[in-house]
Amino acid sequence: MRNVARTSLVDAAIEQLRDQITSGAWPVGTKLPSESRLAETLGMSRLSVREALRVLAHAGLLATRQGDGTYVTATDESQVALRRRLDRAAAMDIIDVRRGLDLVAARLAAAQRTADDLAGMREALARRDAAAEAGDLDAFADADVAFHLHVADAAHNPLLGDLYRSMSESLRDSVRDLGQAALRPDTSHHDLLAAIEAGDAAAAIGVSVGILDRQERDL
């Protein structure tokens, strides 16, 4: 019975908070009051309010900024769902293009890489690992793109490098769109570096395919 009552309280908190958002009382960009203030206003426990905020954040209506607070990011859940579908379609287009570029880059890099190329990859990977450990998604996306740019440059094909740079912002966005899934522990990029360093083109291509497959699954 306690679980039923708890669920009912969370549902009630969700509905009251959703009403504030969809009615326009809290426009997009509004910072919500603290959990304790919301709990006092709604006459509920902080635990119920916290769970309600989590549900609404998952629905895309709210976003929590670490060390800052919770903000309204949308007022219509149907629009959020549509935007997510469109974002996924755009991300899939990027992955399709990368299946061409990344495999060529990996194959050529395994044959053409220099000591400086490998040093650049290692430095980018170190930053990527540190950002993942710190939970810094923006820094992680920047370092991830930097690593793949180093791989493209290691192919020593200027056109390939230019094509990759022209997509760099879209690549960053595609990593950021994965959210916390992007930060899960993963050795594939280190495996790619090892294959390139060993001059093993087949292994480098295989790892590159795996990286893109994982990203597609996480969308």
Identify the CATH assignment for 2-75 out of 3.40.50.450, 3.20.20.30, 1.10.10.10, 3.30.420.480. 1.10.10.10
The domains of the chain are located at: 2-75, 78-218
pLDDT at 83: 62
Instruction: Inform me whether the pLDDT recorded for 5 exceeds 60.
Output: no
Residues 100-115: what's their mean pLDDT?
A: 96
pLDDT at 89: 62
**Dist CA 177 CA 47 (whole Å):** 29
Q: Which residues pair with 69 in a beta bridge?
A: 65
pTM: 0.63
**Dist CA 182 CA 68 (whole Å):** 22
Residues 18-44: what's their mean pLDDT?
A: 90
Q: Where are the beta strands (DSSP E) in 96-135?
A: none
DSSP state of 75: S
The percentage of residues in the chain with a pLDDT greater than 70, rounded to a whole number, is: 92
pLDDT at 200: 98
The enclosing H or E element of 65 equals strand 62-65
**Terminal-residue alpha carbon distance, the chain:** 38
Instruction: Inform me whether the pLDDT recorded for 153 exceeds 50.
Output: yes
Label residue 104 by pLDDT band (50, 70, 90): very high
Place of tokens 């996924």: 88
78-218: CATH number: 1.20.120.530
Q: Among the listed ranges 14-28, 44-58, 86-100, 152-166, which one has the minimum average pLDDT value?
A: 86-100
Q: Where are the alpha helices (DSSP H) in 31-76?
A: 35-42, 46-58
